[in-house]
């Protein structure tokens, strides 16, 4: 009895398998009896196709009877040719949940200004003194105090010290008196006001004030506020550090006495390396930025002093000469530095994030987001790059949206679909 039941179950199983196989075979024969255009013509609007089997099409969403994958929508044959119709790079359709899981991010194509940046590592060859100024007392008086700490770095215009000069208040008062009289007998703006007894003019008193250490801004404030003071603030004419202090707070000073030195700035000459392909972009006088190895956050301004001073055939690089100024305690001969040269400037360029570009031997491309979960690879021509942005010469337009993350996965899926379609005839 058990053997009969076993034989009965085996016969039923074989019948089911044979039925399913026959059904699929009949489906394949029915589909293969039609051409691709004949079959697609039955389902023109809309058209759903299996991404794995190009011969499986339908007029409504569903699943592929061969592999079970969901059918995807595509433009019917004979429709308008546009970005979506390039069968060599098919459109990839994804659900919003898949897009979120992949972490797809996008950016809009815009217009902007790009500067070609060329990175040039190198070594300091030579160091020479750049700015070194002796600060002398303009007249007799008293040194009040230093306004800086030892080794403190100063920029041009920073206050260094205060001094009090004898007779400064008298000159200021005489200048104001001549200025007031010029309103009746002279021209205050041109300095033609003159004391009829002494022959002193406004131009002369102004020159005395400048010689004493007052600036044009100080004199303008004196003329506006009419407040007399005998204290002068000495300010740095250039960047540097106060060196060789010859006086102390409260010391009496004489005219012409050396008070201190403003120095510490050294000019460094750098022999840097660049690729030969960048030689045409490098010219003397171009701006450069120098970064020292121990302080990557501080940038020192420099220039290209000479281009293509040497050629290395083995490494396919050229030697260029850069120069920059920095404090003498920060730079040493032979020190490794990294320079960045600012070459060609491109205004009103089409700009996208550099991460959006897929580079390959077959050509560069980006993934355009078409909306509705649709994405398509688009060939592009790339121009100059600057930092994390790149110029696009052709392929996209202002307002197009490109994928900046997970674009390689989408590109691979599009390539896979194109391969299956070619295999499916």
pLDDT at res. 22: 45
Helix/strand/coil for 60: coil
pLDDT at res. 84: 43
- Check: pTM over 0.85? Answer yes or no: no
Domain annotation covers residue 16:
no
Which residue, 345, 360, 384, sits at the end of a domain?
A: 345
Give the chain's largest Cα–Cα span: 149
Which residue, 215, 236, 262, sits at the end of a domain?
A: 262
Domain annotation covers residue 1:
no
| Average pLDDT score over residue span 205-225 | 82
Query: Both 241 and 328 in a single domain?
Result: no
The fraction of the chain above a pLDDT of 70, given in percent, is: 77
DSSP 226-268: -----EEEEE-SSSEEEES----TT-EE-TT-EEEEEEEEEEE
Q: For 56-60, 80-84, 156-160, which range has the lowest pLDDT when averaged over its residues?
A: 80-84
pLDDT at res. 169: 80
pLDDT at res. 162: 92
Residue 146: count of CB within 10 angstroms of its CB: 20
pLDDT at res. 147: 92
Query: Both 281 and 334 in a single domain?
Result: yes
Domain annotation covers residue 23:
no
pLDDT at res. 30: 44
| Average pLDDT score over residue span 23-32 | 46
Domain annotation covers residue 139:
yes
pLDDT in tens, 96-153: 888 888 888 888 888 888 877 788 899 998 888 777 889 999 888 899 999 998 878 8
pLDDT band at 26 (very low <50, low <70, confident <90, very high): very low
Q: Note down the domain range covering 122.
A: 116-127+264-345
pLDDT at res. 313: 67
Number of H helices and number of E strands within the chain? 7, 22
Q: For 34-38, 277-281, 290-294, 385-389, which range has the lowest pLDDT when averaged over its residues?
A: 34-38
Query: Both 398 and 295 in a single domain?
Result: no
pLDDT band at 42 (very low <50, low <70, confident <90, very high): very low
Domain annotation covers residue 19:
no
Query: Both 103 and 38 in a single domain?
Result: no
Q: For 190-199, 208-217, 268-277, which range has the lowest pLDDT when averaged over its residues?
A: 190-199
Long-range pairs for 241-246 at CB < 8 Å and ≥24 separation?
241/151, 241/152, 241/153, 241/154, 241/327, 242/146, 242/148, 242/150, 242/152, 242/154, 242/160, 242/161, 245/146
pLDDT band at 53 (very low <50, low <70, confident <90, very high): low
Query: Both 140 and 242 in a single domain?
Result: yes
pLDDT in tens, 335-354: 999 888 887 777 888 888 88
The yes-or-no verdict on residue 60 having pLDDT over 50 is yes
pLDDT band at 49 (very low <50, low <70, confident <90, very high): confident
What is the C-alpha to C-alpha distance for residues 341 and 74, in angstroms, rounded to an integer? 48
The yes-or-no verdict on residue 86 having pLDDT over 70 is no
Which residue, 317, 345, 373, sits at the end of a domain?
A: 345
Query: Both 226 and 318 in a single domain?
Result: no
Q: Which helix (H) or strand (E) holds 32?
A: helix 2-32
Domain annotation covers residue 86:
no
The answer to whether 299 touches 289, Cβ cutoff 8 Å, is yes
Average pLDDT, the chain: 77
Query: Both 178 and 239 in a single domain?
Result: yes
Contacts of 54 (CB under 8 A, 6+ apart): 36, 420, 421, 424, 425
The answer to whether 402 touches 380, Cβ cutoff 8 Å, is no
CATH number for the domain spanning 120: value is 2.40.30.170
pLDDT at res. 143: 94
Q: For 53-67, 68-82, 167-181, 364-378, which range has the lowest pLDDT when averaged over its residues?
A: 68-82
Domain annotation covers residue 37:
yes
Burial of 403 (0-12, 13-18, 19+ CB in 10 A): buried
**Number of folded domains in the chain?**
4
Which of 216, 75, 237 is CA-nearest to residue 159?
237
CATH number for the domain spanning 379: value is 2.40.420.20
Query: Both 247 and 286 in a single domain?
Result: no
| Sign (positive or negative) of CA dihedral 183, 189, 192, 198 | positive
Query: Both 373 and 415 in a single domain?
Result: yes
Buried/exposed 34-71: b ≥16 CB within 10 Å, e otherwise: eeeeebbeeeeeebbbbbbbbbbbbeeeeebeeeeeeb
Query: Both 208 and 272 in a single domain?
Result: no
Query: Both 144 and 210 in a single domain?
Result: yes
Domain annotation covers residue 3:
no
Query: Both 140 and 257 in a single domain?
Result: yes
pLDDT at res. 15: 53
Which of 152, 23, 172, 108 is CA-nearest to residue 396?
108
pLDDT at res. 279: 78
């Amino acid at each position: 009895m058990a053997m009969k039941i076993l034989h009965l179950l085996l016969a039923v199983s074989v019948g089911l398998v044979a039925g399913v196989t026959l059904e699929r075979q009949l489906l394949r024969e029915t589909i293969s009896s039609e051409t691709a255009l004949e079959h697609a013509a039955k389902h023109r609007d809309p058209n759903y196709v299996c991404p794995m089997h190009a011969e499986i099409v339908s007029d409504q969403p569903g699943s592929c009877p061969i592999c079970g994958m969901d059918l995807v929508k595509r433009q019917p044959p004979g429709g308008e040719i546009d970005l979506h119709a390039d069968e060599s790079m098919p459109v990839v359709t994804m659900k919003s949940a898949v897009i979120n899981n992949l972490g797809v991010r996008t950016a809009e194509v815009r217009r902007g200004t790009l500067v070609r940046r060329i990175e040039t590592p190198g070594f300091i060859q030579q160091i020479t003194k750049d700015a070194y100024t002796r600060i002398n007392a303009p007249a007799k008086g008293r040194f009040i105090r230093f306004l800086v700490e030892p080794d403190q770095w100063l920029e041009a215009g920073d206050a260094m010290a205060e001094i009090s000069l004898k007779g400064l208040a008298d000159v200021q008062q005489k200048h104001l008196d001549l200025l007031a009289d010029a309103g009746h007998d002279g021209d205050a703006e041109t300095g033609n006001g003159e004391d009829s007894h002494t022959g002193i003019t406004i131009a002369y008193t102004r020159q005395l004030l400048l010689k004493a250490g007052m600036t044009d801004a100080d004199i303008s404030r004196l003329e506006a506020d009419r407040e007399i003071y005998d204290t002068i603030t000495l300010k740095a004419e250039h960047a540097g550090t106060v060196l060789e202090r010859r006086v102390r707070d409260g010391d009496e000073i004489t005219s012409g006495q050396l008070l201190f030195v403003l120095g510490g700035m050294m000019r460094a000459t750098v022999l840097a390396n660049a690729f030969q392909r960048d030689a045409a972009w490098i010219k003397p006088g171009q701006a450069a930025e120098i970064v020292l190895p121990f302080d990557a956050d501080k940038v020192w301004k420099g220039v290209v002093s000479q281009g293509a001073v040497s050629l290395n055939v083995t490494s396919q690089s050229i030697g260029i000469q850069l120069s920059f100024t920095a404090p003498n305690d920060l730079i040493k001969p032979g020190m490794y530095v990294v320079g960045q040269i600012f070459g060609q400037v491109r205004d009103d360029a089409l700009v996208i994030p550099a991460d959006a570009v897929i580079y390959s031997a077959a050509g560069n491309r980006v993934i355009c987001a078409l909306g509705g979960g649709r994405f398509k690879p688009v060939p592009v021509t790339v121009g100059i790059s600057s930092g994390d942005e790149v110029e696009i010469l052709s392929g996209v337009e202002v307002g197009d949206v490109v994928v900046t993350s997970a674009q390689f996965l989408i590109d691979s899926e599009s390539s896979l679909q194109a391969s299956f379609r070619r295999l499916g005839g």
